[in-house]
Structure 1
Amino acid sequence: MPFQDTKNPLYGSGRITEVAPGVRSIGLQGNSLAVETASGLVVVDTGPSPDLVAPVLDQLREPVRWIVYSHGHLGYNYGVPGFFDYAAAHGERRPAVVAQENVVRRYQRYLETAGLQNHINTRQFRRPMADMAAPPPITFPDQTYREALTLAPDVRLLWAPSETDDVTAVWLPSQRVLYGSAAVINGIPNIGTPMRTMRDTVRWADTLDRLAALNPAVLVPEFGPVVREDPVRQLTMTAAALRWLRGAVVDQLNQGRRVDDIVHDLRYPAELFDVPWMREHYGHREYIVRDIVRSETGWWDGNPTTLHPSRPDVAAAARAEAITDKQAVLDQAERLRGDGRVQEALHVIDLLALAPGDDPLVKQARAVKQELCALRAAEASSYVSRSFYRSGW
């Protein structure tokens, strides 16, 4: 039975769709994959909950021999216990869990930082903390590999470092079907997400070029529809866009430019960025620019004031105290909003909105900021940006 969680953009429909003979995609968390072999099914990603498993396996009607993790991000394989329980209930052998070796280190880090991950996810996905499991229900793999692993004569697992350093792509050579996993997300590569660790832009491009060299006829992305029309072009052009970003940002850094100037001054080639597979519905080109800068220059923005700053509430209180006409700040923010200059209005209102205390004008500024953030959310193409605008500060 199809399901849909409209609150989380990562959740799929639960539908099973034939990609090629013996190959099906499953809408669990993104596109999962089921591949028939003589030894049983290979299933890539078990989805966000054990409760979703039984209806899917009832439709597949074959024992699952292997569960493969596409990558180590939380949620994609919370359904593993459901697969184990289903196998036991039907007298079948427990599926073996296979992943690229770096998944183990990632899972260990997630257990160490479980509280942090939950706080990030409440903001990025606008979910209540009560929905977040602590610790996360992780199942470690039974078997890992480093570069490549053949599970069956026509099922080859390939290390594809990209969004994470533990991504597994799946190549079915006889049918030329490629499951791109987290390396191919049907949108601009998810690099530089505001609250995540850095992702290597050039390494992602290298991975896409290696996958393109396989010459797939069919490409199954982690999200979105199956690509049957010139998938090699999509892979190579995305890689070219990432290399362009790296080169353009480094050129600006070599001229002594700062990150905010680079973000606003770059001009992006339409042939690389104004294409369907580079839509900014989740990630954003500005995120990538900032991640490249961060990878080369560290965390400091170059302003001496922020090198060893005061506590945020202390600094905000000092700014607010220095403003003798607080109503003028509110009035200017409203004028900017009326002129459609919402981001500039946010910069102005922060002179008051971040201050502690119960001053009526400060409280009014906080309310104005909330309204301005809602306007910016409505303007934003990226789901992540919309989430952070709406999640408070």
Structure 2
Amino acid sequence: MPKSSSPSFAQGLTQGLALLSLTLPLSLMAAPNPATEATTKANDAVLDSLDFSDKQSFDDARRGFIAELPNAEVLNEDGKPAWSARPYAFLKDEEAPATVNPSLWRQARLNSIHGLFEAADGIYQVRGMDLSNMTIVEGDDGLIIIDPLLTPGTAKAGLALYRKHRSDKPVVAVIYTHSHADHFAGVKGVISQDDVDQGRVKVYAPDGFLENAVSENVIAGNAMTRRAAYMYGVALPIDPRGYVDTGLGKGLSQGARTLIAPTDVITENGTREIAGVPIEFHLAPGSEAPAEMMMYFPEQRVFNTAEVTSQHMHNVYTLRGTEIRDASLWSRYIDEVLEDYGDRTDVLIAQHHWPVWGTEESKHFLGVQRDLYKHIHDQSVRLMNHGYRPGEIAENITLPASLAKEWSARDYYGTLRHNSRAVYQKYLGWYDANPANLNPPTAVDEARKSIEYMGGINQVIERARQDYAEGNYRWVATVMSKAVFAEPKNQEARNLAADAMEQLGYQAESGPWRDVYLSAAQDLRGSAKPATGTSTGNEDMLQGLTTGMVFDLFGVRLNGPKAEGKHIVLNWAFTDTNERIRTNLENATLTWLPDRQSADAAATVFLTRSTLNDILLRKITFPEAVKGGEITVDGDQAKLFELLGLLDQFKPDFPLIEPRDTAQR
């Protein structure tokens, strides 16, 4: 890893942007357990409760199929796999093994249907070759690419597959539907920055896209990186006792993440003609993403809902951690689409999953999705207003039978249980109004006293084994979590906690729930080490940060205890962008203001934004830049390095299922 004079900033920033750049460890995996009798019965009950004879989704997913990639594999330029369908060959079996919820197995098989598909005349999709879909629209003078996947490798392969079977027209436009990386970060696989700079390609995005695209995973990026390792099961083996599917898509491609800034921003609903194709844009900010838009193709009567609808229940809150989404507003956007476009739509496509074919079928699907999110919102708030706490709401809220039977409302990604908790959090926050929970003991102290009150660790483990034998896995996972926090090195407690979580994972209908349970089991058994969160290929997003965002990151990395009693005022002058920023360290807090310079500053730091970018990318260090003349300091140079020395370095492998060393604060 390159050295830096400020690893706490540059390295930590890069790790923060590495949310989806995790690599699989090479450690040997301890053999997981088989499904228990209780798990087998639970999964058999799912088989009895849903209509698995309904094969319509499989017909819909295969309709319009043109071709799949030879060898079902994509390699990056370095020869390493970007994506491969080969590890998922076990999903060809229609019958789910006892270690996978049969409903999730069904979704995993659907998401395994991959290749190039025709959605309508002139509209094609590359599906099942990444977490998301890439849509290709044929224009008069070239191609329009909608959402170029997560990495350039898969995007390039998807475009090549299209060109092999359709047209070699140039790409003349790219449309980003929203600000999540799996919908834009493969852009340099289909166009180059030079294409845009020379005017050969335009890039369209919804209002607020760029800011949200580069900022969402930065401020809290290190914590999100670690949590995402669990949510996406990046350290799990791909097999019936490990990773099978995200629910949202087959899985994450591996490789660089790129970004080209939009040339055209869609700020209001209305029609634009792109490459001779009329497209009606319909904005949906604050729904599934902070910046998102849908679009209608009147000539083909095709509506693209982006990720506002999908073939499952989506997340109102994601397990990796993010801001709570507004389920009520989300529902309203879907209602607008149903009202304004339902009768005019023959095919409903999205940037995940497979299409809905037919006008009536599309209207029915939109109605289900609309009512799903509104029901979650309204019923959670109703119970909240009756005084129910988050956990009580999660236990009591249900979908009506009319929604529960719909495959497109199932818990494959989001779940009714954790989404209802999110609605509570949106309105009332973390405090449940019980004063005992206002200032509780630390997790370690609570665990130790609880185990002591229960008669000691040996008795607790013995009784938990009895509950495990009876299939009471939720309780065993809870009480053994306390045991692990009380005695982190007690392998017997860790193994029993792992056993319980493993069975909960086998039973989970949600891909992320399965992944977090099984990932925790691995960590508890010590059978795998967490991925390191290394980042390669985030250069575009790093450079996309506004200068103000950079100083916000300085602020969150400031070690408050170390900074106590220090007062450092610095002026920053960027000679290429003419930006002037004043930073003030006081009261162990770093603040900044744009367009300001202080007469009381200890020093003025002169540099270019290009030099700062190189520092962020660890191409050069602060001392090297000063020594080489890229940075000049007018005043007390030591104050600059004193400030930099107060910035923390975040470790991307902090523990999730056991206590951390609080002395490292």
User: If the length of structure 1 is used for normalisation, what is the TM-score?
Assistant: 0.88
Residue correspondence of structure 1 range 121-270 to structure 2 within 5 A? 121-127=228-234, 137-148=258-269, 150-152=272-274, 153-161=277-285, 162-194=287-319, 195-213=321-339, 214-215=341-342, 216-229=345-358, 230-270=361-401
Q: Residue 104 of structure 1: which of 205, 210, 227 is its match?
A: 210
Question: Is this contact kept in 1: 2:390–2:421, CA < 8 A?
Answer: yes
Q: Quote the residue 1:67 is aligned against.
A: 174
Q: Distance in 2 between matches of 1:338 and 1:347?
A: 15
Question: Is this contact kept in 1: 2:151–2:255, CA < 8 A?
Answer: no
Q: Secondary structure, in 3 states, of the residue corresponding to 1:197?
A: coil
Q: What whole-Å deviation, never above 9, does each CA across 1:126-153 have from its counterpart, x for those lacking one? A: 226xx99999644332221122351434
Q: What whole-Å deviation, never above 9, does each CA across 1:87-141 have from its counterpart, x for those lacking one? A: 86xxx9642221111212212423444433322321211226xx99999644332
Question: Is this contact kept in 1: 2:171–2:191, CA < 8 A?
Answer: no
Q: Quote the residue 1:22 is aligned against.
A: 122
Q: What whole-Å deviation, never above 9, does each CA across 1:183-225 have from its counterpart, x for those lacking one? A: 1111113222232320111111111111112121101123222
Q: Residue 42 of structure 1: which of 144, 169, 172 is its match?
A: 144
Q: Distance in 2 between matches of 1:112 and 1:348?
A: 33
The one-letter code sitting in structure 1 at the alignment partner of 2:188 is P
Is there any run of 5+ residues in structure 1 with no aligned partner, and where?
none
The one-letter code sitting in structure 2 at the alignment partner of 1:331 is E
User: If the length of structure 2 is used for normalisation, what is the TM-score?
Assistant: 0.54
Question: Is this contact kept in 2: 1:46–1:79, CA < 8 A?
Answer: yes
Is there any run of 5+ residues in structure 2 with no aligned partner, and where?
1-68, 74-82, 89-107, 236-251, 521-656, 658-665
Q: Secondary structure, in 3 states, of the residue corresponding to 1:219?
A: strand
Residue correspondence of structure 1 range 234-383 to structure 2 within 5 A? 234-358=365-489, 362-383=490-511
Q: How many residues align?
A: 386
Which is further off, 330-339 or 320-329? Answer: 320-329
Q: Larger relative CO (CA 8 A, sep 6+): 1 or 2?
A: 2
The one-letter code sitting in structure 1 at the alignment partner of 2:283 is W
Question: Is this contact kept in 1: 2:133–2:149, CA < 8 A?
Answer: no
Q: Secondary structure, in 3 states, of the residue corresponding to 1:107?
A: helix
Q: Distance in 2 between matches of 1:308 and 1:126?
A: 33
Q: Secondary structure, in 3 states, of the residue corresponding to 2:356?
A: coil
Q: Quote the offset at 1:239 in angstroms.
A: 1.0
Bigger radius of gyration: 2
Q: Distance in 1 between matches of 2:174 and 2:494?
A: 49
Q: What whole-Å deviation, never above 9, does each CA across 1:12-55 have from its counterpart, x for those lacking one? A: 77621111111101124422211111232111111122123333
Question: Is this contact kept in 2: 1:241–1:273, CA < 8 A?
Answer: no
Q: Distance in 2 between matches of 1:34 and 1:186?
A: 20
- Seen in structure 2, the aligned counterparts of structure 1 residues 331 and 221 have a Cα distance that, compared at 3 Å, is same
The one-letter code sitting in structure 2 at the alignment partner of 1:182 is E
Question: Is this contact kept in 2: 1:32–1:47, CA < 8 A?
Answer: yes
- Seen in structure 2, the aligned counterparts of structure 1 residues 259 and 115 have a Cα distance that, compared at 3 Å, is closer
Question: Is this contact kept in 1: 2:150–2:257, CA < 8 A?
Answer: no
- Seen in structure 2, the aligned counterparts of structure 1 residues 174 and 136 have a Cα distance that, compared at 3 Å, is closer
Q: Quote the offset at 1:5 in angstroms.
A: 4.3
- Seen in structure 2, the aligned counterparts of structure 1 residues 108 and 93 have a Cα distance that, compared at 3 Å, is closer
Q: Distance in 1 between matches of 2:210 and 2:254?
A: 19
Q: Distance in 1 between matches of 2:375 and 2:150?
A: 35
- Seen in structure 2, the aligned counterparts of structure 1 residues 327 and 114 have a Cα distance that, compared at 3 Å, is closer
Q: Distance in 1 between matches of 2:154 and 2:396?
A: 47
Between the two proteins, what is the percent identity of the paired residues? 20
Question: Is this contact kept in 1: 2:206–2:292, CA < 8 A?
Answer: yes
The one-letter code sitting in structure 2 at the alignment partner of 1:52 is T
